[in-house]
Amino acid sequence: MGFPGSILLSPKAIREETSDKRHPLGTRGYTRDGRVFRYAKAGATALTIGHMNQTAVAHADFTDACSHNPAATSISTSITLAITGGSITTANCFADGHIMTKDAAGQGQMMQIKSHPVTGTASTTCKFNLYEDDYLTASVTTGTTVWGVWFNPYYDVVVCPGSAPTGMAVGVNTMAITALYYFWIQTWGACMVECDAAVVVGSGVAIDSGSAGSVLAVGSTGNTTTTLLLMHTRPMVGVAMEVAAAADHGLIFLTLAP
């Protein structure tokens, strides 16, 4: 399976939220005027309209702390990992995310997760089921001890903190979103976004380091730490389409996921 084709979204559709999941996370939607959205799920905190959001904070126990058990063939519909130290308390929280080989035989591969159960206790095994047309292309062994398991980028998104980023920027919610609800997050095109300080037409904007969920002109001095907006620490997420005053929402052309 995997992601379906793009979905044409009506003005009504981009203003809807649901408690149940209706598309794979990351599904691409677009409007007639060229704006692009991705299907996402809000984290445990409600989202305020017009804020820049980021990926969920990585689960520390599943980035580099897994070992393979048992050895797998090159074609397999599932991967069973012995989780070192961690436990999975929510079934399918990694669904539509990825499992990766990072070390030894077969390293460098990435497969998409379809489903998985709850592990119950720490340091136990978990069977990650893959989508039917996804599989290993190089064999792994019990010596392939370093694996990574990552959430889908659009799972449990949270507002970007007004400090050092703890995840990758993914998009802006164009309406207030209830905690843990599913919705369409905007990733490309004209969008109203909160600006921490004044921006001018044509200026690139990056995630703000002073106000959560806001953007600020790249290189701006209107921040608590001026060096935080250098491109290598806070990449540009869009371009200002109009002059916007400090603390107001301004029209920004988002350039995240086309």
Phi first, then psi, for residue 227 (nearest 5°) are -75, -15
14 band by pLDDT with thresholds 50, 70 and 90: very high
pTM of the model: 0.88
| Of residues 235 and 222, more confidently modeled | 235
H/E stretch holding 252 reads strand 249-255
Cis peptide before 24 (omega within 30 of 0): no
Amino acid symbol at 236:
M
Write the pLDDT tens digit of every residue in 171-227.
999 999 999 999 999 999 999 999 988 888 998 999 887 889 999 888 655 444 444
**pLDDT at res. 60:** 66
- DSSP symbol at 15: G
The domain ranges of the chain are 7-52+155-255, 60-150
106 band by pLDDT with thresholds 50, 70 and 90: confident
Assigned token pair, 103: 């070390």
Which positions ≥6 away from 99 have C-beta within 8 Å?
Answer: 79, 81, 110, 111, 113, 128, 130, 147, 148, 149, 150
- DSSP symbol at 10: P
Asked whether the predicted pLDDT for residue 2 surpasses 60, the reply is no
H/E stretch holding 185 reads strand 182-194
For the chain, the first-to-last Cα distance in angstroms comes to 22
Percentage of residues of the chain with pLDDT beyond 70? 86
**pLDDT at res. 231:** 52
Assigned token pair, 241: 């389409």
**pLDDT at res. 1:** 38
d(CA 53, CA 172): 6
Name the residue with tokens 């489903």: 115
Write the pLDDT tens digit of every residue in 51-102.
999 999 877 667 654 555 444 555 678 888 877 777 888 899 999 999 988 8
Asked whether the predicted pLDDT for residue 48 surpasses 90, the reply is yes
Q: Which of 6-15, 89-98, 106-115 has the highest mean pLDDT?
A: 6-15
H/E stretch holding 254 reads strand 249-255
Q: Is 24 helix (H, G, I), strand (E, B) or coil?
A: coil
**pLDDT at res. 3:** 45
Q: What is the mean pLDDT of residues 7-13?
A: 97
Question: What is the secondary structure of 43-85 as a DSSP string?
Answer: -SS-B-TT-EEEPPPP-GGGTS-EEE-S-B-SS-SEEEEEESS
Q: What is the mean pLDDT of the chain?
A: 85
Nearest to 32 by CA among 5, 9, 14, 16: 9
Per the DSSP assignment, residues forming a β-bridge with 41 are: 182
